[in-house]
Amino acid sequence: MTLDTVKQRFDKLKPHLQAYGTNDDVRRPAVIFFHGCGGIAPNLLIYAKAAVEAGARVFIVDSFTPRGWSRKHASAWVCKGLKLRGYERSGDVLAAVAGIRAFPEVDEDRVVLAGWSHGAWAIMDLMTQKLDKAGDARLADPLPKPIDGVKGLFLSYPYINIMARSVTRPWHYKPKTLAVLTLADHLATYNHSVKLIEKLRKQGIDATTVTVNATHAFDEEGIDRTGIMKYDAEAAEIVLAALKDFMAETLA
């Protein structure tokens, strides 16, 4: 298998970046979004607006279009764990951080990574890798330097079940972390998620949680799959506020 370099991967991602923020040349902090296994959904635009109002530039990374995948294809394959598991997608995270930190309108030392479900899985899997040899993050030339500017991780209903590397491997990088946990998540029980967060704390990571009485993907308006996933407006407002607070604490 031929591996992309960091530059090659970012060159593939860059044309499909969605950028939001004040139209000026002021260097501002960046929040980089990584969508769930179903692709970019409207809920991310709501979070993007909130982050921009809080003073950041937002970049939504599309991991599917550069690979020629539709949302339907991703739902059939990625959501079932058959393609692009967190470890494989972690190269997108590293390449996006490296490329976006180099933008002149971005403060390279004030970056937050935000992931939803599969996107959070990819971010967390990146933290478990030393990035000191070819093949890490499925890249030819991974390097840890870009993570120096990452001050925080915002992880919303992260997938942290059996295939997630954080379950069995420690983190090598330790940004301040906020995990949004749901009491009715069908992909990972609440108790399992809490235990993993406690495990991260024992590794010296400043990890906190926000818990909502909701399902996985509760912030996607219109979603209702036989009770497994259901939109919850109140929970969504709580988590929007949590994102703003986390940005204020992390990017001040």
Average pLDDT per 10 consecutive residues for the chain, totaling 252 residues: 94 98 95 96 96 97 96 90 94 98 98 98 98 97 96 97 94 98 94 96 98 96 81 96 97 88
**Of 103, 124, 141, 167, nearest to 34 (Cα)?**
124
Share of the chain above pLDDT 70, in %: 99
Strand pairing class (57-61; 18-20): antiparallel
- 142 domain-assigned: yes
**Of 249, 166, 242, 177, nearest to 206 (Cα)?**
177
Q: Measure the CA–CA gap between 250 and 252, rounded to whole angstroms.
A: 6
Q: What is the dihedral of CA 150, 251, 188, 238, to 10 degrees?
A: -160
pLDDT value, residue 226: 66
pLDDT value, residue 24: 94
- Identify residue 161 by its one-letter amino acid code: N
- 10 domain-assigned: yes
- 128 domain-assigned: yes
- 1 domain-assigned: no
**Of 174, 3, 162, nearest to 85 (Cα)?**
162
Q: What is the chain's mean pLDDT, rounded? A: 95
* The pair of three-digit structure tokens given for residue 246, joined into one six-digit string: 């986390």
Q: Measure the CA–CA gap between 6 and 49, rounded to whole angstroms.
A: 29
Give residue-wise pLDDT tens across range 7-21. Answer: 999 999 999 999 999
Give the HSE-up count for residue 65: Cα atoms under 13 Å, Cβ half-sphere: 13
* The pair of three-digit structure tokens given for residue 161, joined into one six-digit string: 């079940």
CATH number, domain containing residue 98: 3.40.50.1820
Domain that holds residue 227: 6-251
pLDDT value, residue 153: 98
pLDDT value, residue 222: 83
Q: Which residue has the tokens 């972690």?
A: 90
pLDDT value, residue 60: 98
Number of domains forming the structure of the chain: 1
- 80 domain-assigned: yes
Q: Measure the CA–CA gap between 142 and 205, rounded to whole angstroms.
A: 23
Phi, psi of 159 (to 5 degrees): -80, 115
**Of 187, 191, 128, nearest to 156 (Cα)?**
187
Give residue-wise pLDDT tens across range 150-206. Answer: 999 999 999 998 899 999 999 999 999 999 999 999 998 999 999 999 999 999 999
34-62: burial string, b at 16+ Cβ within 10 Å, e else:
bbbbbbbbebbeebbebbbebbbbbbbbb
- 120 domain-assigned: yes
Q: Measure the CA–CA gap between 118 and 217, rounded to whole angstroms.
A: 11
pLDDT value, residue 95: 98
pLDDT value, residue 92: 98
- 208 domain-assigned: yes
- 79 domain-assigned: yes
Q: Which residues contact 207 (CB under 8 A, 6 or more apart)?
A: 177, 178, 179, 197, 200, 201
